[in-house]
Each structure stands twice: as C-alpha cells, then as structure tokens.
Amino acid sequence: MVKFALFARLEAKPGKEAAVQQFLEAGLAMAREEKTTPIWFALRLSPTTFGVFDAFEDEAGRQAHLSGPIAQALMAQAPELFAAPPSIEPIEVLGLKNVAAAAA
C-alpha cells in the first residue's frame, strides 16, 4: 500500500510560467520510468504556483525518487525557473482511493 509521499511547491519566476509548465509536463515521461513511483501528479495551483505530488510504497522508493533524474533536473533548473528554491515536504498517506488500480 502507498503510504509515503512528497509534495513539492514551486513558485515560477515572473515570465517563466510557461517554461515551468513545460518542464513539469516533460517530467511525466521521467516519472513513468521510475519503477518505485506508482503515483505522480504535476499540478498548477495558481497562475504562478505549481506543485508535484508523488507517492511510494516504501521509504526506499521515496529516497530513490529524491536522488533520481526528476529531482536532479528540478534542482538543475531551479535557479532559472523558480523565484525561490523548491519546497519539498515528506507526507504520510493516511488513505487512498485509486479506481484505476482497482480496475486493473
């Protein structure tokens, strides 16, 4: 069961909103390659605020993600795209309904 998660809040620099959106859309392909990341969402919270929510079955999966290609790309692009360093918070999942997994 998925119990471990991360939430990253990203504030785009003025004029970089479209670039942040494109970066996050490209991140989906990388997320699909991560065997230990079964759930990954790229989010737009406001015109300039974005987020990423991802979840994992265990702490090892979460740690693998934090040291993987998406995190590396995020930190490499941070100075160019974001008004402040990304805020990345560990989260404990208390409940989950996943219709797609139940149907498979």
Q: Inform me whether the pLDDT recorded for 103 exceeds 90.
A: no
Residue tagged 């149907």 (tokens)? 103
* pLDDT mean across residues, the chain: 93
Residue tagged 């987020």 (tokens)? 51
Express each pLDDT in 30-73 by its tens digit: 999 999 999 999 999 999 999 999 999 999 999 999 999 999 99
pLDDT range class, residue 102, cuts 50, 70, 90: low
- pLDDT for residue 1: 84
Question: Token pair for residue 58?
Answer: 């265990």
pLDDT range class, residue 91, cuts 50, 70, 90: very high
Domain 4-103 belongs in CATH node 3.30.70.100:
yes
- pLDDT for residue 104: 52
Rounded average pLDDT over 79-97: 95
Sketch the domain layout of the chain as residue ranges.
4-103
Cβ count near 31 (within 10 Å): 19
Considering the entire predicted model, what is its pTM?
0.89
Contacts of 52 (CB under 8 A, 6+ apart): 6, 7, 8, 10, 24, 27, 40, 41, 42, 43
Contacts of 11 (CB under 8 A, 6+ apart): 48, 49, 50, 82, 83, 84
Whole-number Å distance between alpha carbons of 89 and 97: 22
